[in-house]
Structures are given as structure tokens and as C-alpha cells.
Amino acid sequence: MNPTNPSLDSRTSLEKCFSPAKINGLELKNRLIKAGTFENMTPLGVPGSTLSAFHQRLADGGIAMTTLGYCAVTADGRLNENMMYMHEGIRAPLTSLIHSLHERGTAVSGQMGHCGGFSKNRELQRRRPLGPSFAINGLGLSQGMFFADAMSIQDIDEMVDQYRDAAQFMKSVGFDALEIHFGHGYGLCQFISPKTNKRKDEYGGSLENRMRLPLRVLAAVREAVGDAFPILGKISMSEGVRGGIHYDDSVVISQMLDRAGIDAIVCSGGTSTMNPMLMFRGDNMLPTMLATEKSLLMRLILRLAGKSMFRDYPYTDLYFLEQAKRIREAVNCQLVYIGGATGNDNFADLMDAGFDFIQLGRSLLSDPELPNRCARDAGFKSRCVHCNECVGTIESPQGIHCTRY
Ligand SMILES: Cc1cc2nc3c(=O)[nH]c(=O)nc-3n(C[C@H](O)[C@H](O)[C@H](O)COP(=O)(O)O)c2cc1C
């Protein structure tokens, strides 16, 4: 802080936020990145005009890089059958979507996801979804898919290959960066978490063992895309559940990823499977979920168990800042802040705290023009009120949207 003129400092920090910066070999025009938010705009898994229009609006709004949320690395890695998975059948529409964003001066990242044992995909090729250990498949209950099976070593080897193949495909269709999802309770997170990984072999037990698959995946993706291509990794710093990943673990997890050559870590938290509100903060989405859930069984489960899963976490701006700062001190790679960054005052603080980039989720759903508005007006702040209805209505036929504006 400049003690004689604090506003000068914040102006300098904001100038930094709106100036170009590199992730590995990729130059971004500013430090603002659209966070991966599964768009639900790929009916039957095909990226079409709705998804294109959604990202084009973001590109026109000034974001440096947009992220296509949850690109499943394989068909069985989808949470449901309307998710996109990486295969030749979508090469043409995906290439043209990415091309249209490049024409607008925006880079495109693809979030590489695999649901592991958490799926309601009715087109599952296996009998059951596969995770690190046999478990109840909470998401699949409505479809009568009650359980997930434990992966064999051969399944693990196949999963590494699926990430490698998907990465190769994604680079070839024009993605500028890839973001491996290590968090939020999905497949790789299920391995990292002692809560969900009960294996007795070299993929379970110690943190070193639990990180074996995620690190093999990172190595395979790196092999596929080469040294100069940006690879980000999104982690859950804490799952917010007893016996799960804790903030202390995430410092070590980040150091392992850093040593293994990741370019940037996105410091998120919570899990979609056990404690989603830790990730989102703000209004509890349980009432919206109850109102929109079609399955009678799921409604019953939500009524009985919803309160323990959807806990209240009041919203504050930059709610992961203190924990993410610990990671900043512990690693050399670049860091991407995520969680309640909503305006120029936050952006300046994050630049001062040494974060390299900032991911924005709900504030951009509320207003895709936010980056341009912030660049024009130093006092600008998002109009998002963290009602979380964009999450509660995620399965709406129109895709994700802000229900207020
Ligand atoms: C509608 C919606 C869908 C989301 N889908 C994903 C997703 O597919 N992958 C993911 O990593 N995070 C997902 N998230 C979480 C966001 O990436 C982000 O971590 C969270 O919204 C907190 O950031 P914010 O305060 O900027 O919104 C989603 C968020 C929203 C609002």
C-alpha cells in the first residue's frame, strides 16, 4: 500500500489486472478468465449455436479467456447424457465455436472432467459408474443407479489414456489451454480424498498414493500437448467434510502439482457431491433444488438429507482469499483466484496478493459485459446477489442463466 496515496496503488493494481499476461506460451489480453460453469447447452452432447452464443457474449464482454465447462474426457465420464464428451463426432462444431471466439480476440480453455463414481448418465457403457472404491452413487439414485464400483488397475490405466487422448483431441480442435478438474468431488478428486478413496493398493492410503492417478493424468496430458501449452488444474482446497481433503492437505497437493509441471492452479473448494455450498456461498440453493427436482425419490432424499448436505455459508467477497494465499506462499507456479471476485476493488486486492489471474463465475453469468465495464469504470461492482438460482436451475432447458437479469 502507498501510505500517502492509497488510490494510486489501487489504480496501479487495476492497470495490472487489465494488462496482458502469459500462462506458459499463451498471452492473455488481461487477467480475467471465465470460470468453468457447466453450461447445459449441449443437448445430446453436441455443441451448437446456443453454446456458441453464450461464449460469444462473454468474448464480446472483454474476458481474456473463456472456459468451456466440464468437457468429459470420455463418454462414461459424463454426469449425464447431455454433457459433451471429447470425440471425433463433435470436431466440426467445436472447431467452429472455438474459431468464432478467436475471431473476437478471446482465448479458449477446456475443462477436462470425469465424474468417477458420481453419475446419472443413462447411456453408461459400463454396468455402474467407476470410482476409486465401491460407494453409493448419490447422483444416480433418481435413475436407479444406486452404486459405483471400484476401478481395477486396468481401469485406472485406461482412464490415464482417456485423458491423454482427450487432451490431444482438444489441442487439435483449437483449445488454447486445458484445465484439469482435480476438485469438486469428481473423478480425480475422489482419488485425492481420503473420504472417498478407501483403496488398499498403491492408489490409496497416503496422500502420495492418492495423488498417484492425478499426477499420472497430469503427465499424460502434458505428454499429449507439449511443454509450451498451458495446463491449469482446479483443486478443492477443502471438501468441508469430516475425513475429507482439508486446507492443510491442499498446500501439499498444490506443491505436488507444481513440482509435476502444472502451469497454474485454480484454488476452489467444496464438493458437488457432499458440500456444494462451501464452493458457492450465498443463498442456500436447497429450496430451488426441491422446487425443480423432477424425481420423487430425489425430492424425498433432499428433504431428508438436504440440510446436512446444503449447509449455510454466508457470502462475503473473496471468500477463499486467506486459504488461497497460503498456497501462493507455497508454490512457484501461477495461481488463479476463484470465489466471490466481483469488481475492481476485489481485482486490485487479488493483484496485490500476488495472484496471476482471476476466474469469475456467477458475476459473468449475471453480466457478461463485466470485464469491459470494469475496465471503463474503476468503481464498478457486479450486480450478482449470489442467490445461486443459476446453480439451482442448472438443468433448465434453456441452459444456465441468471434468473434476475
Ligand atoms: C451454474 C454454475 C455451474 C458450474 N459448473 C461448474 C463446472 O462445470 N465445473 C467447475 O469446476 N465449477 C463449476 N461451477 C463453479 C464455478 O466455477 C466457481 O467455482 C463458483 O461459481 C465460485 O465462483 P464465483 O463466486 O465467481 O461464482 C459452476 C458454477 C455455477 C454458478
CATH number for the domain spanning 126: value is 3.20.20.70
Q: Closest Cα partner for 395 from 81, 111, 76?
A: 81
Which residue reads 456444494 in cell numbers? 276
Residue 62: the pLDDT is 98
- Answer yes or no: is 167 within a domain: yes
Look at residue 149 and tell me whether its pLDDT is greater than 50.
yes
Please answer whether residues 16 and 47 qualify as being in contact, where contact means their C-beta atoms are separated by less than 8 angstroms.
Answer: no
Separation of CA 4 and ligand 1 centre (Å) = 39
- Answer yes or no: is 405 within a domain: no
Question: Could you tell me if the CB of 216 is within 6 A of ligand 1?
Answer: no
Which residue reads 488444474 in cell numbers? 233
Residue 303: the pLDDT is 92
Separation of CA 6 and ligand 1 centre (Å) = 33
Domain that holds residue 29: 6-392
Q: Residues 70, 186, 203, 319: which is the catalytic one?
A: 186
- Answer yes or no: is 179 within a domain: yes
- Answer yes or no: is 402 within a domain: no
> Which atom of ligand 1 is least distant from the CA of 342?
26
How many domains, the chain? Answer: 1
| 150-155-159 Cα angle (round to 5) | 115
> Which atom of ligand 1 is least distant from the CA of 360?
26
Active-site residue, 186 included: yes
Residue 297: the pLDDT is 87
Look at residue 269 and tell me whether its pLDDT is greater than 80.
yes
Rounded to two decimals, what is the model's pTM?
0.97
Please answer whether residues 159 and 213 qualify as being in contact, where contact means their C-beta atoms are separated by less than 8 angstroms.
Answer: yes
- Answer yes or no: is 27 within a domain: yes
- Answer yes or no: is 1 within a domain: no
- Answer yes or no: is 63 within a domain: yes
Confidence of residue 8 (pLDDT cuts 50, 70, 90): low
- Answer yes or no: is 195 within a domain: yes
